[in-house]
A and B are shown apart, each in its own frame.
Chain A
Amino acid sequence: MDSVIFTVIRRMRFPLMALTIVYSIAVLGFTLIPAQDASGNPARMGFFDAFYFVSYTATTIGFGELPYPFTPAQRLWTIVCIYATVIVWIYSIGTLISLAQDAGFNRAVTRRRFRKRVRELTRPFYLVCGYGETGTALTRALIHRNRMAVVIDVDPQRISALKMENYQLFVPALCADAGVPTILREAGLKHDRCIGVVAVTDDNEINLKISITAKLLHKDITVYARSDSSDVEKNMESFETDNVVDPYETFALHLAIALEMPCQFLIHRWLSGLNIEKLEEPVYPPATGLWVICGFGRFGKAIYSRLKVEGVGVIVIEATPDRTGEPAEGCIKGRGTEAETLKDARIESAVALVAGTSDDTNNLSIVMTAKELNSRLFVVLRQNELVNQDIVDAVHADIVMHPSAIIANRIRVMMMVPLLREFIVLAKMQDNAWACELASRISALVGDEAPDVWEVCLKCSGLPGDRTDPVAVIRALTDKQTVRLGHLMYDPHKRHDKLRCLTLLLKSEHGSTFLPKPETALSVGDRILFCGSSAARDDMEWTLQNENILRYSMTGKSRSPQRIWKVLAHALGVRH
């Protein structure tokens, strides 16, 4: 049974006892004290009358002296009873009220309510552990796409921030340590609707523990975890954590792609960026010349090794090389915030600067000093905290690396559009010219708004990325009609207009087709990746869900009327 009910009962035990004893003494007194009836004959009050009288006196209702006017002896006893019973009542009610204000009790009540709400979830949901910058961005993205989420965070301020957020859907949230398996279970880890666990707390160890717990308690669940160190990452992968994200590695890899193939990088950013961003211009990091890296922490190391692979000359500046280690050819000791150190690193002749320490103020200072010395520098800036957004924007770095945003983006892509990863892998095999052409096609479709990427799944409910199934298309396919890819891309209002979108990938049981042609016939079980404007996405939803519109798209004929209208039309002699 519940600890809440037990706490109430336990705390009320003594007040209830006191009530019982005082009541019984009062009742007993009235039955013992001699009374008089209406005509003055001696009488005794029965237990029933006595209990009736004490009941209304104790609760200060006071109906008067019943059944007959009282004798002085009875009145004396009444006085005693009034004070005794009323005090006991106040005491009992006071105990209840103090219980309601008790912090421990309130925590138990909140937890119970949380458990109940999680238990009652009927739609698939994700369990988000950690509501920091990453967790917030992910929860927002999930709710935006009409998916449910349950949130745990150890910091009460973050939980109250979530409550202030006013999401469209109700997000059950609990302030507790996600590293404790019981808490995870209460948050619905073993719930059959729980489709994924996202471990994005600030603490690597806790993320690791969440991943282990999730894998042990719910075998089929997908786990997305953040890891800032390769040790933890390897550890997580050893027990098959599905998706481990290391923000520094991820970014370094992107940078390496940008060095070689700017358009590839551009496409990658456009497709996996959040919808709110504007379409950006491509960046061209210099692939030849000297790079200066300030800070040889996890971020600096990741970039350093990537740049080495690309064959770029690198000079590292690090304030505490004895703690962080240093590259094979040594490093320049210093913080990089002062001109001397930067000059030692030959900043005047360098082509690019990476401000990669874990302190935003230092990073900004490095960038400003370096730009004074060499204004043509290509600047890569690491942003550690979201609150510094304004000043980070003000220095106009060429690339800003924000770990939380990178993790949030990657996990969001993996959850919502799993096909996109596959597409990106295939795209990487193409050359830069191909990527530039694709980029110009996309920008022709969407103008300067950021492209939306979505996945259409022909009957694969239960997959983490699915939307509601496209019922109309599935029905048409099971009726042995031929639905072609192009049919889905007509404007549902005017068939001769095409929606502003293009198909990136088609995955069927025969394999994946890269950039499939509109004539491709679809079959049940196919998954299609689209890219285009948000309006096109909403319009396509019509075609996918509504049979009449699908028929219009396929045949060009306007929707055929329902049976009842046919009968009515016939009866009225109306002709179509």
Chain B
Amino acid sequence: MNPNKVFFGFFIVLALTLNFGFVVGEIDRPEHHHVYEFFAVIVVNVIATILKLGDRTQMGAVLLATSLVAVLQLLAGAVVWWAAIYVSDIGMTPTVTASIVSLASGAVLANVVSVVLLIVETVTVRR
């Protein structure tokens, strides 16, 4: 068992599960989508991205790409959140919440791809 792989797999799966947990709930109700959970999703996704840096293989490149997509989507969501509260003063209306959650759902998809790739890679290594 390679402890590095445990670490790696842990963060990739955690990125997906947290992301999924944040998205679950009715899309336009702010009380279903907590800000701390969103923060955790961003942090774990950034860590997952850093873990994927510097891998020269084809698989590594695709994994990195999916993570970058997820992080970008989440950061876009964070910017919307920030703008709603600090810039325009409209607060967490159903429209704002819906757009944040839909961006985060996109990130879920990217994370799913990431996990699927991880599984594929694991399956192809026969040991």
Contacts and interface: CB of A to CB of B under 8 A. Distances in A.
Chain A's interface: helix, strand, loop or mixed, by majority?
helix
B120 interface: no
A90 interface: no
A145 interface: no
A17 B43 contact: no
Give chain A's interface residue range (CB within 8 Å of chain B).
10 to 19
B82 A48 contact: yes
A344 B78 CA distance: 100
A13 B51 contact: yes
B85 interface: yes
B54 A10 contact: yes
A27 B43 CA distance: 11
A438 interface: no
A6 B54 contact: yes
A436 B78 CA distance: 93
B54 A20 contact: no
A47 B54 contact: no
Given A1-B56, A6-B56, A13-B54, A20 B47 contact: yes
B81 to A, nearest CB: 8
Contacts of B46: 20
Contacts of A13: 50-51, 53-54
Interface in A1-27: 1, 6, 9-10, 12-13, 16-17, 20-21, 24, 27
Interface residues of B, number: 15
B39 A21 contact: no
Nearest to A47: B39
Contacts of B35: 47
A20 B53 CA distance: 14
A9 B50 CA distance: 9
Nearest to B46: A20
Interface string A46-59: 11100000000000
Given A20-B43, A20-B46, A28-B39, A46 B85 contact: yes
Nearest to A28: B39
Nearest to A49: B86
B50 A16 contact: yes
Given A24-B39, A27-B39, A48-B86, A17 B47 contact: yes
B43 A24 contact: yes
A48 B47 CA distance: 20
Interface of B: 35-36, 39, 43, 46-47, 50-51, 53-54, 56, 78, 82, 85-86
22 contacts: A6-B54, A9-B53, A9-B54, A10-B53, A10-B54, A12-B53, A13-B50, A13-B53, A16-B50, A16-B53, A17-B47, A17-B51, A20-B43, A20-B46, A21-B43, A27-B39, A28-B39, A46-B85, A47-B39, A47-B78, A47-B82, A48-B85
Interface of A: 1, 6, 9-10, 12-13, 16-17, 20-21, 24, 27-28, 31, 46-48
Given A16-B53, A28-B36, A28-B39, 15 more contacts: A1-B56, A6-B54, A6-B56, A9-B53, A12-B53, A13-B50, A13-B53, A13-B54, A16-B50, A17-B50, A24-B43, A46-B85, A47-B39, A48-B82, A48-B85
